[in-house]
Amino acid sequence: MRALPLILLLTLVPLAAEEHPAPAPKAKAHPKVVSAPQHAAEAPVAAGPGTPKAALAELSAGNARFVAGKRVRTLDTGQDAAMRAALVQGQAPFAVVITCSDSRVPDALLFDQEAGRLFTIREAGNAPDLQGLASAEYAVGHLGSKVIVVMGHTSCGAVKAVREANGKPLPGNLWALQAGMAGLLESTPQDPNEDAKGHLAHLEEANARRQAQALLDRSPLLRDLLVAGKLAIVPALYNLASGKVQFLKAVAAAAAAPAHH
């Protein structure tokens, strides 16, 4: 058995990379970019939209159905077993949703999308850490997702906590929330004419915009796909009361000139 491990390792590594968001190799600061392979043959249930524009339109339409109380894609529990069977074959989520962990933001429901359609990254304050960023790169680079929506929401406790701390370290590991939103308070100071609630609303929107822009600053892979027109990155805000998602201005390719070539 002594001779086997190396062979097994060489055999298993590529397989493992197919199955999981591969952790970055320790020796390399920048994992090699995977040229977005399309897994059309593995597409589960219904094939997703094939362009960033169509992907965004599908999310918008799904949210409109949710707001109107007319969901169609997430209701038929009689199809659950068939859906599982289809999904065992593979996944091709057309959209990545980076949103807050808040339990009142059920992304699949509010976009009316069944399993296999959305690749969701949830962290308090929708401020992805490095593994969140790696997850987004995996979905876009390996699974072929066409759009990344960075979605904040009204009454966000994470943004509120960072606002109220006003630079003083939050207890425990909550300081990481502040690190993830570094610069937010400075970028969006409270207007003398607005109250705390109004300021929080401004911060929630600004945070979604800044986190969307930050994806490009942090990821050459995402930047290249955006510049090539193969990916859209769109900040958004979910309204807890109305259920409506307000899509904000997409991050512009012009603002994302490749800096690493």
To the nearest whole angstrom, how small is the minimum distance from the Cβ of residue 207 to Zn ion? Answer: 9
Q: Which is nearer to Zn ion, 29 or 241 (CB)?
A: 241
Q: How far is the CB of 169 from Zn ion (least distance, A)?
A: 20
Cβ-based nearer residue to Zn ion, 150 or 158: 158
Nearer to Zn ion among residue 93 and residue 125 (C-beta): 125
Residue 153 C-beta: closest distance to Zn ion, Å = 6
Judged by CB, which is closer to Zn ion: 84, or 197? Answer: 197
Give the DSSP per-residue string, 58-100.
HHHHHHHHHHTT---SS--GGGHHHHHHHHHT----SEEEEE-
User: How far is it, in rounded angstroms, from Cα 174 to Cα 57?
Assistant: 36
Crossing angle for the helix pair 220-227 and 196-218, nearest 10 degrees? 90
CB of 102 to Zn ion, least distance (A): 4
Residue closer to Zn ion (CB basis): 36 or 100:
100
Q: In 3D, which of 253, 261, 248 has the Cα closest to residue 225?
A: 253
For strand 118-122 and strand 147-153, is the pairing parallel, antiparallel, or unpaired? unpaired
State the residues that interact with Zn ion by CB under 5 A: 100, 102, 156, 158
Q: Per the structure block, which two tokens stand in for 250?
A: 């997409």
User: Left if phi > 0, otherwise alpha if psi is -120 to 50, otherwise beta: which for 2?
Assistant: alpha
Q: How far is the CB of 156 from Zn ion (least distance, A)?
A: 3
Q: Are 224 and 139 in contact (CB under 8 A)?
A: no
Nearer to Zn ion, 114 or 204 (CB): 204
DSSP-assigned letters across all residues of 208-231: HHHHHHHHHHH-HHHHHHHHTTS-
Compute φ and ψ for 210, nearest 5 degrees.
Answer: -65, -40
- Is the CB of 102 or the CB of 205 nearer to Zn ion? 102
CB of 60 to Zn ion, least distance (A): 22
118-122 and 95-99 strand pairing: parallel
Do 93 and 117 form a contact (C-beta atoms < 8 A)?
A: yes
CB of 197 to Zn ion, least distance (A): 15
